[in-house]
Amino acid sequence: MKNKIMLLPVLLVTTGIFIQCMKTSPRVENRPQEKKTDIYDLPLVNIVDIKGSGNTVIMDGTRIPLIGSLSDKGASQVKETGFCWSTKENPTIRDSSIKQKYTDIVWTCTITELKPETIYYIKAFAINDHGIGYSSETWVHSGYKYGTDHEGGYVYYNDGAGGGLVLGKENLGKVPWIEGGKTQETLNGKTKSVGGITVGRDNTAAIIAQSGHKRSAALLCEQYVYQGYSDWFLPADCDFRIIAQTLYPINAGNITGSAFWSSTEKGKYWASYMTFKNVALSGSGKEPHLQETSKYSKGLIDTRPVHEFRPARMP
């Protein structure tokens, strides 16, 4: 009898615990099941690219032009597209972002109000009824403000990876485009007008290597040393087009009122030069423009070098 009396409280206590659990636990079996989004229902977005190519990309330290594109819309119509970015990895739309109504599988946008000399992690995204599809992450260095004093010159181009090009601070002299033998009436044939950021360097090497060469604007640049930097070259037409877009409008580089040789040849007897003479910074009057003149020209056209700067340590 004693044993039975002792068992009863134990049974009641055990039963009490069981009842309490039943009261506090959710009734999973009666709860509606959440629909899981299949990854294939989301838009498939390609990796972000920088808008432009070669040294035609305009990044002034505070803005980056971007291109996003769609590979697959997913299981429903895409409603919006855009970009998100952060100074930390793996950005989402909860970070800085911009979006627009979907109109095409390719979309562009320039993100602005960025900090100069800063690495940004960027993703493109697209939104449909099932959620948000993100591209893979890419990073871009916002670059230096145009006209920044850097590595012996003024920054006029940023490559998005922390590197770029600077225009030298000094004029090197009003010499002929080339001298020596019959070089002034011989087609070099190896210089270019457009290309990547090394086209001016390639042109400079081609001019100096020309048979009969003794003196040239290109050689002045190649031999120039300033603040320890010795990798200068004569800019090409494409370099001057960028300088006219980036330094000239902000009156930087001490270029207004001058004309400078380009490393771009225009024929057997002619070479290209960029003039900043008789131009108005207000926007009225004649804009900076490329012209052609005889390779013999002496005492009229100045020489200004440029050089490439490379990034420090990047991700």
pLDDT in tens, 52-92: 655 566 789 999 999 999 999 999 999 999 999 999 999 99
The pLDDT of residue 204 is: 98
> Cα 151 to the chain's mean position, in Å?
19
The predicted structure's pLDDT at residue 7: 31
> Is the pLDDT higher at 25 or at 200?
200
* Per-residue pLDDT reduced to its tens digit, 175-223: 999 999 999 999 999 999 988 888 999 999 999 999 999 999 999 999 9
Structure confidence at residue 276 (pLDDT): 93
The full set of domains in the chain, from first to last, is 39-141 (2.60.40.10), 149-309 (no CATH)
Contact 180, 215 (CB under 8 A): yes
Angle at 130 between CA 127 and CA 133, to 5 degrees: 45
What local confidence, expressed as pLDDT, does residue 39 receive? 78
Percentage of the residues of the chain whose pLDDT score is greater than 90: 74
Q: Is 60 exceeded by the pLDDT of residue 15?
A: no
**C-alpha distance across the termini of the chain, in Å:** 80
Indicate whether 314 pLDDT > 70: no
Section 165-179 average pLDDT: 97
Amino acid identity, position 57: V
pLDDT surpasses 70 at 9: no
- Express each pLDDT in 111-135 by its tens digit: 999 999 999 999 999 999 999 999 9
Read off the pLDDT of residues 244-288 as tens digits, 9 standing for 90 and up: 999 999 999 999 999 999 999 999 999 999 999 876 554 545 689
Pairing of strands 164-168, 259-265: unpaired
Considering only residues 101 and 48, tell me which one the structure prediction assigns the higher pLDDT.
101
Tell me, what's the pLDDT at 29? 29
Spell out the SS3 assignment of 75-143: CCCCCEEEEEEECCCCCCCCCEEEEEECCCCEEEEEECCCCCCCEEEEEEEEEECCEEEECCCEEEECC
Specify the pLDDT at position 165. 96
Say how far apart CA 217 and CA 234 lie, in whole Å.
Answer: 7
Residue type, 108: T
- Residue 24 pLDDT greater than 70, yes or no: no
d(CA 205, CA 208): 5
Least confidently predicted of 22-26, 89-93, 145-149: 22-26
Residue 299 scores a pLDDT above 60: yes
List Cα–Cα distances, 167 to 193, 234, 264, 303, in angstroms: 18, 10, 17, 11
